[in-house]
Amino acid sequence: MSTLYVTEPPTDGKVILYTPKGEIEIELWSKEAPKACKNFIALTLEGYFDNLVWHRIVPGFIIQTGDPTGTGQGGESFFGSPFENELHQRLRFNRRGLVAMANTGEKNSNDSQFFITLDSTPELQNKHTIFGRVAGSTIYNVLALANVEISESEPDRPVYPPKLNRAEVVHNPFSDLVPRITPEERIVQNQAKAMAAERADSLKRKNKRPKKNVTLLSFGSEEDVSQEERSRKPMSSHDLLEDKRLSKKPHHDIQLKQENVPTENFRKGHIKGPRIPEELNPTENVSQQVSETENLLSTPEIKPKQSSGRELLNSIVQQYKQDKKDSNPPRDLDQLKLLGSFQKNIREKTSVPKGQSELTRLSSESLWDDDANMHEYGAEDDDDVNWRSHRFDSGGIPLSGLNDQYSIEDYQVIDSRNTRGEMALSLGFGEKKSRKAFEEKARQEKLRRDGRRGRDWI
């Protein structure tokens, strides 16, 4: 790499480009390419490269900027017209980081656009003017700018083009160079150009003729009729002719109020109302016939009497009674006969036997129907205040003494909540597994008392 730098001539001039990825230092060969370097420094002093975008990025090839329009079709030189190429035998496209002028592909078409190489590009030799190189480690910022997403629809166009924020001249080798305009004046000039372009676009849109709707049917010359002519109301003979018999006063359509009186009632003759003349005499004055029609329609209409809610309810009830009276009577009579026979059978089966009075039968039947004689298990009596004085009744068997055939151990109090005791298991309480174990134990105990072993006996 050091041998390449030895073959290149020394530089004179320096410009720094500020980008989102960092600074890019460019050293200029002002003696080998004086016009290109002078053009580049002058445009930098004028603020021409400020806020531009890198509109063309080809990974592994070049990155390009210098077009104010951002399309690759714009740009201008400091000299007012494109200038010629400046070729030097010691400047060759044999490595990355070389800065050269972009052109339209034709000879001597250099303006303001320039590019930086990302690799060796010998195919560009003797076609473009090399006027600078990227210095030091800032070449890595150039490579970072090239690492962007490229559009699929537009070749070499990044989806989100990175910006060139501004350019600054560090060393100007041309002491007699005077810029045409300052950066502040260029900002004002660009704003004025933008406003003029916007005003021209608005006037162009305003004067533009509306596009024809070709989806609609066209009948001869109607396709060329303007929208204003279509929006005009049609004119009749009353408006066009100067005839006294034709009235100039507009006639509004008169509609019948059909809310309460339907038009069918006029045809049937149920309601007497104003009759509308079916035919107007064509020989009479039109305005006179219209006035007669309005007079006929202005007469009060006869509205049917509206019944109230109570009268409507009474009429519905009367109609229901009449329908019920006129319904098929044999079916109701059959049902009444069946009901009577059923009641007769009940009375015969519940008749009082001989020798028993009706009072005795009723008292025996109502014994269990009396709620006062029925008590739920565990219910407390309100009048049982001396419940502690209750005594155990053993059914005549003495609980003590010599004649007592049972001892006190023979009596046992069973707690219903204890479901794991032997007594509870013997009575069938407790879990299924516990009951089975208790039954097996009782069976083995019985076999033992009988003098037999359970396994041998089984």
* Parent domain of 437: 422-451
Q: Pick from 181, 131, 143, 134: which is nearest to 61 by CA?
A: 143
Is 375 tagged catalytic?
Answer: no
409 is a domain residue: no
Backbone angles phi, psi at 136, to 5 degrees: 65, -145
223 is a domain residue: no
Q: What is the distance of C-alpha 23 from the center of its chain?
A: 46
Contact call for residues 98 and 86 (beta carbons, < 8 A)? no
pTM: 0.46
CATH code for the domain of 88? 2.40.100.10
53 is a domain residue: yes
298 is a domain residue: no
Catalytic pick among 28, 45, 64, 172: 64
Is 124 tagged catalytic?
Answer: yes
17 is a domain residue: yes
105 is a domain residue: yes
Catalytic pick among 87, 94, 95, 103: 103
- CA 4 vs CA 90, 94, 378: distances in Å: 10, 9, 116
Residue type present at position 168: E
Catalytic pick among 87, 88, 95, 124: 124
A 10 A CB-CB count for 27 gives: 19
378: left (phi over 0), alpha (psi -120 to 50) or beta: left
240 is a domain residue: no
328 is a domain residue: no
Query: What is the chain's pLDDT, residue by residue, as a tens digit (458 residues)?
Result: 455 546 899 999 999 999 999 999 999 999 999 999 999 999 999 999 999 999 999 999 999 999 998 988 989 999 989 999 999 999 999 999 999 999 988 888 999 999 999 999 999 999 999 999 999 999 999 999 999 999 998 889 999 999 999 999 999 999 999 888 888 888 888 888 889 888 888 888 877 766 666 565 554 455 555 555 556 667 777 777 777 777 777 665 444 444 444 545 444 444 444 454 444 444 445 566 656 666 655 555 555 555 567 888 888 888 888 877 766 555 667 778 888 888 888 887 665 555 555 545 544 544 444 444 444 444 454 455 566 666 766 666 655 555 556 565 666 666 667 766 776 666 666 677 777 877 888 888 888 888 765 554 44
Is 128 tagged catalytic?
Answer: yes
3-state secondary structure of 177: coil
Q: Pick from 148, 1, 180, 163: which is nearest to 67 by CA?
A: 163
Domain limit, last residue, from 161, 181, 201: 181
Catalytic pick among 55, 92, 96, 128: 128
Over the range 256-274, which residues count as b (16 or more CB within 10 Å of their CB) and which as e?
eeeeebeeeebeeeeeebe
Contact call for residues 128 and 36 (beta carbons, < 8 A)? no
Catalytic pick among 49, 114, 115, 438: 115
Cα angle for residues 156, 158, 161 (degrees, 5° grid): 130
Cα angle for residues 422, 425, 430 (degrees, 5° grid): 125
Alpha helices in 225-328 (DSSP H): 227-231, 237-240, 263-268, 286-298, 309-325
Q: How many domains does the chain have?
A: 2
Q: Which tokens belong to 126?
A: 């003797």
- CA 14 vs CA 29, 82, 103, 167, 174: distances in Å: 9, 23, 23, 11, 12
CA distance 257 to 313: 29
Domain limit, last residue, from 165, 181, 197: 181
Catalytic pick among 55, 56, 92, 96: 56
Is 438 tagged catalytic?
Answer: no
Half-sphere exposure of 358 (CA within 13 A, CB side): 2
Q: Which tokens belong to 302?
A: 């006869």
Q: In what order do the strands lie in the sheet with 22-28?
A: 56-58, 62-65, 114-117, 98-101, 130-134, 22-28, 14-19, 166-171
The model's pLDDT over 311-322, given as tens digits with 9 standing for 90+, comes to 888 888 888 888
Domain limit, last residue, from 134, 155, 181: 181
Is 103 tagged catalytic?
Answer: yes
Q: Which tokens belong to 360?
A: 């005795």
